[in-house]
Structure 1
């Protein structure tokens, strides 16, 4: 079975991202982020941000979810949802994925894959990172 995400799937995916954000490990920033990726077989893989005292060793929620999906044997990823529980809805830039996460999205999701950003709306991988670096 291959999932083509509809509005209900994307709402469920966003709910999974919100749940994942509750598990974020953020002792330094207190900025909780959650993500969830939908696979072609309908599996939802959550991720949250995990900080570290050595800041460069922290990992964003989006990359945690995407890497967990791949580690779980999923290669056909079809959608991603992201939420920043502590972002400022009046400043949408505080809700958006960082550049590193956008590049990983380009590598692991189809260009047309929906990316739902809580408080901002739905977009696509290509819209988030136009003219992205690709080796192929």
Structure 2
């Protein structure tokens, strides 16, 4: 991921994280996705009193991408946690994989600046994607 895109995605994820609804866990997450048109789509986590009914930030951002007509993820940024950057949960890894190939860069950053740069393939090795159904 080029430095400019990484900076823009991280800034967008950091900004949207401020709107997270996380009264139960206190763990605010912001996500930003770049689509095939160069647009950035954001999402934050939205918890619910019926705890399993909440939405992960990545799923919210993915919904925004699809609603805007995007069909491919070119890069991902996630901002969450302290000290150690959080990575997408297993369910979100699969959701992202539907629109992102193995080489798509994933930039994870903690709220206090620790960084982990990886790829979809490293996060979800031997994944099951749309091409498996072809």
TM-score between both structures, scaled by the size of structure 1: 0.87
Match of 1:70 in 2: 66
Flag structure 2 segments of 5+ consecutive residues without an equivalent: none
Is 1:15 aligned with 2:20?
A: no
Tell me the matched-pair count.
127
CA displacement 1:62-104 (0-9 Å, x = unmatched)? 11101210122111221110000xx231x45xx1211111111
Flag structure 1 segments of 5+ consecutive residues without an equivalent: none
Match of 2:78 in 1: 82
SS of corresponding position for 1:108: coil
Is 1:104 aligned with 2:95?
A: yes
SS of corresponding position for 1:116: strand
Is 1:36 aligned with 2:32?
A: yes
CA displacement 1:38-74 (0-9 Å, x = unmatched)? 1121111110000001111101111110121012211
Give distance in 1, aligned partners of 2:75 and 2:87: 16
TM-score between both structures, scaled by the size of structure 2: 0.88
The structure 1 segments of at least 4 consecutive aligned residues displaced by more than 4 Å after TM superposition are: none
RMSD of the alignment, in Å? Answer: 1.3
